[in-house]
Amino acid sequence: MAVSEDFWWEIEKLRVMTLHDSEGRDGGDVAMTDKDDVSSDGSGGGGESLVSLGAQRSTRRFAHLLYTLAQAYRHVASGTYATRRDVYYQCVWLYGTQAGLDRSAEDLVRMLGVPRSGLHLTITGKGLVAGALTYTTCDGTIVNVSQAQNGMLVPESVEGMTGVVSDARYILVVEKDATFQRLVEAQVHRSYGPSIIITGKGYPDVSTRQLVHRLWSVLRVPVLALTDADPYGLHIAALYKFGALLREDAGLAVSSLAWLGVLPTDLRALQLPAYALLPLTPTDHGKLASLAAHPALSRSPGWLRQIQEQQNSGFKAEIQSLTHIRPDYLTSVYLPTKLRQAGWVL
């Protein structure tokens, strides 16, 4: 499918803004709270816990800390990586559950004052990636993502990736797995590309956010977000852009990310049928108010306008609601039109 020059002109303008915006910034100075930034012990990610050498109940936890520290030291010293899952299976009898290992790893991050990636114990991601991307894993395996028909899992060790090669013109971050699969099936990454498509399957885990940030910093191309037109979609887009409030690691937030859609301001122009629009709940109104009060968004007029539009309309809509216009409206009309007309919020 031929792509007009207007289409690429808008993408190029966004790329130039991206490069200007990223100079001298790591993107992690402002943060958002997200539900995945919570440690496995249920402490909410921000609290401190006490391990007393004189307390019997702390014996096992102290053993967890020592063994996890030993594993981290071994991999840092050798320049290798291991997944937390692999470490857990090496010593199931000690940890008891995966949560035991996760808790000790998070404790070490706090105690040592290092980012999670500094332990070289990676978290297995749930996200998927598709499109024009080739890279080499930490064990020397060359991975060509474009050969995967339905995309592939985010690499276990984003930090260990080398030889990243791509001719992608932009990166599209998608909220939902179902939308990701629809876009890949429609070959959007080729028809309106080359591009890279990534999904965190809802709220993204650390590995997915690491991949988005790594590709953004290496390829120096625009990053666009496609989410539902609801408070949670807005929150997910903001999470990729501004980062997580609790124990945010450097190298996760993409400060120049643009929210492509579905925007609350799009809903009136789309003229969706009444049954495709869902009324906002009291919880939704509370989340919008919380987001509007956050310092990151209070300094972003475009994002505030979207919040105000949704508050005033009293309605929300999912990406899937576009099928009520026509089954392929998302891939054949909405996305190419938004890209061509630069219909995003910075």
Q: Quick check: 321 pLDDT over 50? A: yes
Active site (catalytic) residues: 89
* Beta carbons within 10 angstroms of residue 62's beta carbon: 14
Confidence bin at 23 (pLDDT 50/70/90): very low
If phi > 0 it is left, if psi is from -120 to 50 it is alpha, else beta; for residue 42 that is left
If phi > 0 it is left, if psi is from -120 to 50 it is alpha, else beta; for residue 316 that is beta
Cβ contact 126:200 at 8 Å: yes
Which residues, at least 6 apart from 47, have a Cβ–Cβ distance to it below 8 Å? none
Q: Quick check: 342 pLDDT over 90? A: no
3-state secondary structure 245-291: CCCCCCCCCCCCCEEEECCCCHHHHHCCCHHHCEECCHHHHHHHHHH
Strand order in the sheet with 171-174: 152-153, 128-131, 196-199, 171-174, 223-226, 258-261
Question: For 169, which DSSP code?
Answer: S
What angle is formed at CA 92 by the lines to CA 90 and CA 98, rounded to 5 degrees?
Answer: 105
Q: What is the CA radius of gyration of the chain?
A: 21
pLDDT-wise least confident of 7-11, 23-27, 89-93? 23-27
Residue 159: exposure state from Cβ atoms within 10 A (0-12, 13-18, ≥19): middle
Q: How far apart are the first and last CA of the chain?
A: 28
Interatomic CA distance for residues 123 and 136, integer angstroms: 18
The confidence score (pLDDT) of residue 171 equals 93
The confidence score (pLDDT) of residue 197 equals 93
Asked if the peptide bond before residue 87 counts as cis, ω within 30 degrees of 0, the response is no
Interatomic CA distance for residues 150 and 142, integer angstroms: 18
The confidence score (pLDDT) of residue 38 equals 30
Using alpha carbons, select from 154, 152, 182 the residue that is nearest to residue 319: 182
The confidence score (pLDDT) of residue 37 equals 35
CA 310 to chain centre: 23
Q: What is the pLDDT of residues 201-244, one digit of tens each?
A: 888 888 888 899 999 989 999 999 999 999 999 999 988 998 87
Q: Quick check: 43 pLDDT over 70? A: no
Interatomic CA distance for residues 252 and 198, integer angstroms: 15
Q: Quick check: 257 pLDDT over 50? A: yes
Which residues, at least 6 apart from 76, have a Cβ–Cβ distance to it below 8 Å? 118, 119, 120
If phi > 0 it is left, if psi is from -120 to 50 it is alpha, else beta; for residue 140 that is left
Amino acid identity for residue 57 in this structure = R
Instruction: Tell me the backbone φ, ψ of residue 282, rounded to 5 degrees.
Output: -55, -35
Q: What is the pLDDT of residues 114-161, one digit of tens each?
A: 777 677 776 666 789 999 899 988 778 898 988 888 888 888 778 778
Which of helix, strand or coil describes residue 126?
Answer: coil
